[in-house]
Amino acid sequence: MDGRAEFCKRCRSVGKEQATQRLGELAPTEPLLGGQKVQDIIAFLPQPTPPTRLLLTQCFAARLRAPCGLRGASQGPAVPRAPLLRAPGDLPKWSSPLVSIEAGSALIQACEKAGVTIPRYCYHEKLMIAGNCRMCLVEVERAPKPVASCAWPVQPGMVVKTDSPLAHKAREGVMEFLLANHPLDCPICDQGGECDLQDQSMRYGADRGRFHELGGKRAVEDKNIGPLIKTSMNRCIHCTRCIRFANDIAGAPELGSTGRGNDMQIGTYLEKNLDTEMSGNVIDLCPVGALTSKPYAFRARPWELKHSESIDVLDGLGSNIRIDSRGLEVMRVIPRLNDDVNEEWINDKTRFACDGLKTQRLTTPLVRRDDQFHPATWEQALVEIGNAFQRLNPRGDEFKAVAGHLTDTETLVAMKDLANSINSENLALDQPGGSSAVAHGVDVRSNYSFNSLISGVEGADAILLVGTNPRHEAAGLNARIRKQWLRSDLAVGLVGEPFDSIFDVEHLGSDHAALQKALSGQWGKVLSGAQRPMIVVGSGVAEHPDAKAMFETIGSFVEKNKANFATEEWNGYNVLQRAASRTGAYEVGFTAPSSSTGSTTPKMVYLLGADEITAADLPKDAFVVYQGHHGDRGAALADVVLPGAAYTEKSATYVNTEGRVQMTRAATSLPGAARDDWKILRALSEYLGSPLPYDDIEGLRERMAEISPALRRYDLVESSSAQVAALSKVQLVERNKGSKATGEQLKRVIDNFYFTDAISRSSPTMARCSAAKASGNPKTNFLAQGYPDATPFYGPQDGADQLQASG
């Protein structure tokens, strides 16, 4: 007994010292071990030292898993009940970390923060909690049975065993129930190799099943929900991730569940398309092979693919993506997590238009002879352009360059330097009114950027949309607005053409007079009284005849209410750019300095991927050069065509609508004789007699940094001070002061979400989506895999038995 008492005395001293090191000010003044199970107490101690090892090897209480005898149990516990989480395992882990968890967090979130991975099917951190699958069961001391960690809030003093025999046995039982009706489709399932059910069955699945029924396994009819998503509902495990995404994020209530228990099914009830621009995200969310990509079906296995981290350029958000390629072909595009930009969602055009990268491609230079294009070598094409330049001898602004939606910043700078070297400032953007000076100006970045940031939408309490349809122009931003609308009292107003919104919108009119009335009336009071108000001006406003009057009105209102519109923490004035090249063009000054410059009749026109231009926009006797990657509208107007690189084939800089500088990465090599765009301009400058001063990409990027140092600060947004923001609004008013309005209505700038650029217009999948959207007929969606024509097929209508073809 004397030896035991001496041991306990030493143990008490060591425990107090170790607790002080571990818990600091939280260390108890009473003896640490009294009244507690020794093993539970040691879990709070740091790395094992000889004294702590002694506790395990010599203490009889530790061996018996009994309370320490230093204090009576009746005196209560002395260990502070802080929200500490123990590492997994029935026995304590000495390296278990102390973690700080926000009150109300789910237990599964606390485990993740502590570095412990809990298996799950239904839980997703971006979706509402459902607690359907029960795969995340853990053992909590003093709980009568295993609990679902996704639906159980963290509580102070909670002791969690994440890998105990009880928790493991419970998960094995859940897995057995899931596999009881699951078909053995792994060899033919597109989810194979990246399937959560496969991975977790290796850990928790049994080597044999006990389920036997004369009727066989449950069988469910496959649903038809559009041209993009292939359904195999026999594989569905009813996690309801797809339902929660469709209802909460995408705003598409068509998807739901019917029946109960063994009769439960996921579907649209009435057979119809899933009407949302974000539908493809359910493919990533589905933990099994129930929902897979229809265009990608049976084309590749994940281990065959090369992964390249890049960004999307088909809208102005710059969503982060991963490009999966095999050889020279882009096989699929999936989202990459970035909470500041796109979270982990991308729109359907970003995901599925990649099949347009191999259709209508320009692979060799072309020269027009007798109204026919003929293949040529690079030297022949460049000589042709040089001879035309000498023959026409354009002086100053008679040489015009037009930048398209997908042009990267390096190419914009090279083209600007080339035009300036031959004394031309006639630079234009491929949009209505793109040859004129921009109404909002380009001197201050905050005049043409999304200053509240994309993620800042989630803090707004009042939003006024002016001349924009975020559902088509920026689907990811539209989802953010819905997210904030669902969880707060967000008020949203619209001045412009109405659209089918996924949140409540108050339509206030569609012209300049309606904008003035809104800002001077009730909506002006709403915005001036909000803590974080936002005015989102669509890029189409800058293309409108009343652009100057509208920007003057908006600038005056923001200046009048700068107390809450322009502070150090918040800038509520925003311009939503819909084209990937637009913000970068404004940043480097790729615009006409004055309307008189843009009105000069050009003798030579250089189109940099400009495919929205028409023959009426070009002088009949002008020599036209088109540089791009697709044989689209612009190439059809050209005298010489030069094949360039698509965004998946080059490393290039883009600036998104909030001013964030990001880069694409080359996932595949260039097809045929195509070349990087800036290299084409560098070679052409030799034939025009004005060689550019850089020979490699680093030299060009140093030139970009001279124009704007922010262009070399990647993945950062240069914030403007409150003083600069206020000054910019004064300039916005001064440069447009006294402008008169015509009263013309604001119209939507995107008529068809699926056809907005050369890549999407070349995509057979986007053609099918457009046809399905226009017809509303589900039978439109079933097309022969690999059908070479983009012509959509319509199914039987009004009892007709024959298929009808429609262009």
CA–CA distance, 151 with 173 (Å, rounded to integer): 19
Is there a domain that residue 218 lies in? yes
pLDDT of residue 557: 93
CB 645 within 8 A of CB 667: no
CATH of the domain at 228: 3.30.70.20
- Confirm whether 45 is domain-assigned: yes
For position 74, what pLDDT does the model report?
A: 33
pLDDT band at 517 (very low <50, low <70, confident <90, very high): very high
Q: Would residue 518 count as lying in a domain?
A: yes
What are the residues whose beta carbons fall under 8 Å from the beta carbon of 379, sequence distance 6 or more? none
Closest listed residue to residue 304, CA positions, set 416, 193, 451: 193
Query: What's the sign of the alpha-carbon dihedral 377, 673, 418, 686?
Result: negative
The count of other CB atoms within 10 Å of the CB of residue 304 is: 12
Q: How far is 176 from 208, CA to CA, in rounded Å? A: 9
Give the per-residue pLDDT at 726.
Answer: 60
Same structural domain for residues 421 and 456? Answer: no
Looking at residue 620, the DSSP 8-state letter turns out to be T
Query: One-letter amino acid identity for 480?
Result: R
Instruction: Note whether 453 and 568 are same-domain residues.
Output: yes
Q: Mean pLDDT across the stretch 575-594? A: 93
Domain boundary among 578, 594, 625: 578
Percent of the chain that is helix, strand, coil (3-state, to 5): 35, 15, 50
- State mean pLDDT over 340-347: 95
Query: Rounded to an integer, what is the distance from CA 574 to the centroid of its chain?
Result: 19
- Please report, to the nearest 10 degrees, the dihedral formed by the alpha carbons of residues 337, 342, 347, 352 taken in order: -40
Q: How far is CA 530 from CA 42, 487, 563, 567, in A?
A: 52, 17, 11, 13
Pick from 339, 306, 338, 309: which is nearest to 321 by CA?
309
- Whether 750 is in a domain gets the answer no
Domain finish residue from 578, 608, 629: 578
Q: Is residue 256 in some structural domain?
A: yes
Q: Using 50, 70 and 90 to split pLDDT, how confident is the model at 86?
A: very low
Model pTM above 0.95: no
pLDDT in tens, 654-710: 999 999 999 999 999 999 999 999 999 999 999 999 999 999 999 999 999 999 999
Please indicate, yes or no, whether residues 706 and 595 belong to a single structural domain of this protein: yes
Q: Are residues 281 and 403 in the same domain?
A: no
> What gap in Å lies between CA 83 and CA 110, rounded to an integer?
10
Beta bridge partners of 330: 325
DSSP alpha helix (H) spans, 457-546: 470-473, 475-487, 512-520, 522-529
Question: Pick from 751, 574, 579: which is nearest to 656 by CA?
Answer: 579
Is 460 a member of any domain? yes
Residues facing residue 535 across a β-bridge: 464, 573
Amino acid at 474: A
- Give the pLDDT band of residue 269 (cuts 50, 70, 90): confident
Q: Is the pLDDT of residue 204 over 50?
A: yes
Which segment of 72-76, 457-461, 797-801 scores lowest on mean pLDDT? 72-76
Q: What confidence tier does 7 reach under pLDDT thresholds 50, 70, 90?
A: low
Q: Does 459 share its domain with 568?
A: yes
Q: Within this chain, do residues 607 and 528 fall inside the same structural domain, yes or no?
A: no
Residue 157 region by backbone torsions, left for phi larger than 0, else alpha for psi between -120 and 50, else beta: left
Q: Tell me the residue range of the domain where 801 lies.
A: 761-805
Q: Which residues pair with 310 in a beta bridge?
A: 321
pLDDT at 384: 96
Contact 36, 68 (CB under 8 A): yes
Average pLDDT over residues 116-144: 92
Confidence of residue 567 (pLDDT cuts 50, 70, 90): confident
Q: Is the dihedral of CA 112, 118, 119, 124 positive or negative?
A: negative
Identify whether the C-beta of residue 305 lies closer than 8 Å to the C-beta of residue 326.
yes
Same domain, 596 and 704: yes
How many other CB atoms are there within 10 angstroms of residue 88's CB atom? 20
Give the integer Cα–Cα distance in Å for 179 and 218: 11
Is the domain of 539 the same as that of 598?
A: no
pLDDT at 718 over 60: yes
CATH of the domain at 628: 3.40.50.740
Confidence of residue 102 (pLDDT cuts 50, 70, 90): confident
Give me the mean pLDDT over the 540-545 stretch: 90
Tell me if 104 is assigned to some domain.
Answer: no
- Report the alpha-carbon distance of residue 530 to residue 321 in Å, rounded: 35
> How remote is the C-alpha of 58 from its chain's centroid?
57
> Tokens for 353?
């238009």
Q: pLDDT, tens digit, for every residue of 497-510?
A: 999 999 999 999 99
Q: Is the dihedral of CA 347, 352, 357, 359 positive or negative?
A: negative
Same structural domain, 452 and 546? yes
Evaluate whether 610 touches 402 at the Cβ level (below 8 Å): yes
Q: What is the DSSP letter of 721?
A: P
pLDDT for residue 636 is more than 70: yes
Pair (412, 536) in one structural domain: no
What percentage of residues in the chain have a pLDDT greater than 90?
64
20 alpha carbon, distance to own chain's centre:
46
Last residue of one domain, picked from the residues 57, 79, 101: 79
Number of domains in the chain: 6
Q: How confident is the model at residue 73 (pLDDT cuts 50, 70, 90)?
A: very low
Q: Which two tokens stand for residue 581?
A: 């090249």
**Which pLDDT score is estimated for 63?**
39
pLDDT value for 418: 96
CATH number of the domain to which 529 belongs: 3.40.228.10
User: Residue 739 has what pLDDT?
Assistant: 81
For 709, the token pair is 């140092």
Q: How far apart are CA 258 and CA 240, in angstroms?
A: 12
Average confidence (pLDDT) over 631-652: 95
Q: How far apart are alpha carbons 433 and 598 in whole angstroms?
A: 9
Tokens standing for residue 7: 């041991």
pLDDT at 789: 42
Structure tokens at 61: 């209480």
Q: Give the strand pairing for 533-538 and 506-509.
A: unpaired
Torsion of CA 233, 235, 240, 242, to 10 degrees: -60
Mean pLDDT, the chain, rounded, equals: 84
Question: Are residues 697 and 593 part of one domain?
Answer: yes
Question: Are 432 and 449 part of one and the same domain?
Answer: no
pLDDT of amino acid 779: 61
Whether residue 118 is contained in a domain is answered as: no
Q: Which two tokens stand for residue 459?
A: 């803090």
Query: H or E element: which one contains 241?
Result: helix 241-244
